[in-house]
Amino acid sequence: MLRCDSCHIDVEGQLRRCPLCGSPLSGTPSPDPFPDVPPVRQAFHVGGLVGTITAVLCLVALLLLAVGLVTIPEAVAIVGVLLVNYLFLRNILAHATSGLRMVERYFFVLLAMALLVYFATRAPVVSTFIVPLLCIVALLANGVLLAIFRSRFIEGYAKYLIMDIVLGGVPLLLVAFGQAAWPWPAVVSAVLALLLLAVLLVGTRGQFARESCKLFDRG
């Protein structure tokens, strides 16, 4: 057993100096109570993998631009979408506290990226099908979550429900401004948004209205 003559304490292990005062220890070292375990190295870094994939896809977009398969606005839109997606996924991996909340937010990121791609490329498939499909999936998913969790989902996710309902009408705006080639996916999205709003207003006994008022109450 090692001993510090200055502090008058016994020290286990194989230290050379007192951990309190730094004086040299006297006596015979004893076996270290903490085994010498080599540090565990993380073999798989998800964040690094996402960054690598993003960098590779950005290089592919630049190569497509170099060979003339995409235009400059299209290449900029692709790279912008990839970078936004990477930043959001990195934030999820680093700070995710609620997986469901991250999924709700990811819908807004995907919708923003789809609109960015459309306004850069003017590809009708994006405005006609991809944007409405994203809204439809989000509205259906919120409907299922509402049926499962009921009041708990409204209490914690009222603001996301409001934003999803509002964004459900975005595809119809694209149709109104002549940006979509076929109106029916947009109509389905708008109808689902209205149905979800009706369920929330009628079927939740005023809870959705109360939670919505809290969001706008600055008092």
140-185 confidence digits (pLDDT tens): 999 999 999 888 889 888 999 999 999 999 999 999 999 998 999 9
Ramachandran sector of residue 154 (left: φ over 0; alpha: ψ -120 to 50; beta: rest): alpha
Q: What is the mean pLDDT of residues 181-192?
A: 95
Q: Which one is predicted more confidently, 66 or 89?
A: 66
Q: What is the mean pLDDT of residues 111-135?
A: 89
> Is residue 132 exposed (0-12), middle (13-18) or buried (19+ Cβ within 10 Å)?
buried
Q: What is the mean pLDDT of residues 53-75?
A: 87
| pTM flag (> 0.75) | no
Q: What is the pLDDT of residue 10?
A: 81
Tens of pLDDT along 133-142?
Answer: 999 999 999 9
Q: What is the mean pLDDT of residues 176-195?
A: 95
Q: What is the pLDDT of residue 111?
A: 92
> Is the predicted pLDDT of residue 33 greater than 60, yes or no?
no
Contact 32, 14 (CB under 8 A): yes
Closest to 108 in 3D by CA, of 74, 142, 138:
138
Q: What is the mean pLDDT of residues 9-29?
A: 77
Q: What is the pLDDT of residue 44?
A: 45
Q: Which one is predicted more confidently, 157 or 30?
A: 157
Closest to 128 in 3D by CA, of 183, 201, 56:
183
Q: What is the pLDDT of residue 164?
A: 95
Rounded Cα distance between 169 and 157, Å, is 19
> Is the predicted pLDDT of residue 95 greater than 90, yes or no?
no
Q: What is the pLDDT of residue 69?
A: 81
Domain boundaries, the chain: 1-34, 45-96, 99-219
As a whole-number percent, the residues of the chain with pLDDT over 70 amount to: 88
Contact 202, 170 (CB under 8 A): no
- pLDDT confidence bin for 39, thresholds 50/70/90: very low
Q: What is the pLDDT of residue 167?
A: 95
Q: What is the pLDDT of residue 129?
A: 93
Ramachandran sector of residue 59 (left: φ over 0; alpha: ψ -120 to 50; beta: rest): alpha
